[in-house]
Amino acid sequence: MSEMTAGQIRYCYACCQQVPGRATSCPACGTLQPPQPELSASERHSDKLIVAALLLCFFFGWLGLHRFYVGKVGTGILTILTIGGLFGLWPLIDFIVLIFGAFTDKQGRKLTRWT
Ligand SMILES: [Zn+2]
């Protein structure tokens, strides 16, 4: 295993406990872990754009449109039902998270592209 992947956080596919990067088996349940395949750029990063999500979040965040945009339909509907998740609190948090490039799409891929 290379130094690059050694620090990665992995989770046991059997019990979902955190597995250290170098471990070949789960410290919690002992299940042998499959080797981590190298992810391509398109698998690690979302193809959705931060700018688009930011604009949707800013103008229609209370409708959860930015969440629909990245495929998070469930939490998008939840945002509408709760009127922007406690009156605009969720969109505000999402807005900040988006700016810092930590917002993820439905597949858990980070939105890293601005344009
Ligand atoms: Zn385990």
CA of 24 to the centre of ligand 1 (A): 11
Shared-domain flag, residues 71 and 88: yes
Task: Give the count of domains, the chain.
Answer: 2
The pLDDT of 14-43, averaged and rounded, is 81
Q: pLDDT tens digits, residue range 52-110?
A: 999 999 999 989 999 999 999 999 999 988 877 676 788 999 999 999 999 999 989 99
Shared-domain flag, residues 44 and 73: yes
CA of 30 to the centre of ligand 1 (A): 6
CA of 3 to the centre of ligand 1 (A): 23
CA of 42 to the centre of ligand 1 (A): 28
CA of 36 to the centre of ligand 1 (A): 15
Q: What does 56-97 look like in DSSP terms, one character per residue? A: HHHHHGGGTHHHHHTT-HHHHHHHHHTIIIIITHHHHHHHHH
Domain residues for the domain of 9 are: 1-37
Q: 103 vs 34, which has greater pLDDT?
A: 103
Q: pLDDT tens digits, residue range 4-23?
A: 444 567 888 889 888 887 78
Shared-domain flag, residues 27 and 55: no
Alpha-carbon distances, residue 53 vs 20, 23, 50, 103, 108 (angstroms): 34, 37, 5, 9, 15
Q: What is the signed CA dihedral for 29, 33, 39, 42, rounded to 10 degrees?
A: -50
Shared-domain flag, residues 61 and 20: no
